[in-house]
Structure 1
């Protein structure tokens, strides 16, 4: 006796519409839910029919509803949406990133490095540290405003970066330095961290 065709296994004709094939597959799967081998045979028959119908569809010989899916197709669709979502996130992040020219980044590096060195060398004169920090704030506002001529935006970003720098600098001191460090050292170190964050924001933030 010859082996049954996929259509015969599901008990449908070769001209049966997909809705009938789907119902037959669901009915048999429910009926034989306790028999793994039978379920596997039903699934294989259904997949074979789907593959055949999709092949015929590509050849223009039969219409297959768009809601028909099988394992390989699901993986492709999933991969497509994953790549699409990744690209969307990348594009969203990219709109906030700026790629400065060599001269531009050299200028900003020189200014913030000079401020950092001055703060570091003048550590005993702690009264000057806030002055240089204020100068760094104005410099950062200037560079950010120069990009899009939006002063309010430049002020907001600078205040956020200033807060982040002070929090980061203070946290680093608490983690890696003992309680015996001087107030002058703390102010200088935090200011240098702030200048580094200012350099990042003014150079690479759009």
Structure 2
């Protein structure tokens, strides 16, 4: 199984990724600013459920692939490394930005808020790519069930995402103002994320599997 050290590093990387503004964060914050914290948390609940769907699909897919074609696991690992390097370049390239601009949205009922949060995350291809490219870095087939290891990593990732986004929902107005106006924060975020993603990509590519 996974060691405490590995889970800790995975948690740190997941938190850094969760801090990068994306459709899920922007949607939850926008809903909070338009309709209040309750709407933001309902939207977040839908987002987290979609994370669970992505996690189950990725875990089952990796397990089935490993059982059917063991060598394919390394192929996925290398493709994932290339994808992470591309994300790192997107973060640090000249003119790259990390926008945090909540959209103006109409007020909706809780049921629709939940569904839209769910669909926003479920239909986000970057989430699926994250699981398929990031998980193989920390999964060790020789240590036991790939499904169980994926579940452990998923629990850490979803918990981290929930904490980050819940914090943003709770203090949406003040936090949004700081993030949108602080060019220093945005610049630092870009380079930290680029460095982390590049380091993980290199490690994925160079780590040998038994």
Answer whether TM exceeds 0.5 for this pair: no
**TM-score of the superposition, structure 2-length normalised?**
0.28
Structure whose alpha-carbon radius of gyration is higher: 1
**TM-score of the superposition, structure 1-length normalised?**
0.29
Larger helix proportion of the pair: 2
